[in-house]
Amino acid sequence: MSVYYDGKDSYEDIINLPRHVSKTRPPMSQSARAAQFSSFAALKGYDDGVAEAARLTCKKRQLTDDQKAVLDMQLNLLIEKADERPFVEICRFIPDEKKEGGFYATLCGEFRRFDEAERKIYLTDGTVISIDDIYSMEIDCR
């Protein structure tokens, strides 16, 4: 059997027909249709790698001597008022587990105690904060 090409498009007879729509089954969503082919992805983990590279982190800011002095005064006040369980708002640096840098987060809670040997602040909700990671602190002694 020989194949003869006459120069005409071989799909000419069907190219302009309307797309078939099933009367018994609902149409598949685009995400479900794409999921059928995801197992054939050529580069496994590529999308995760791109997402990780795009995730931004920032460098840890160095405190000035004035900022360190203010934090020392606030920490001393916090220790002095420990029996009153003062409410504290702390902005701290949280190092990233996967790449260099990290991010700053502010948390609030009641002060429980300060461990001078470990240089850590303990809040009543169980949160433990290293004083080396604190960027700023506000105390409400009500």
Is there a contact between 60 and 102 (Cβ–Cβ < 8 Å)? yes
Domains of the chain with CATH codes: 65-140 (2.30.30)
* pLDDT for the residue 4: 59
What does the block give as tokens for 132? 């080396």
**71, 88 in Cβ contact below 8 A?**
no
Cα-Cα-Cα-Cα torsion 104, 109, 112, 117, nearest 10 degrees, comes to: 0
Write the pLDDT tens digit of every residue in 35-56: 777 665 666 777 778 787 778 8
pTM of the predicted model, to two decimals?
0.62
CB-based contact 65:91 (threshold 8 Å) = no
Residue 138 pLDDT grade (very low, low, confident, very high; cuts 50, 70, 90)? very high
- Predicted confidence (pLDDT) at residue 67 exceeds the cutoff of 80: yes
Q: Dig out the tokens for 122 from the structure.
A: 């303990």
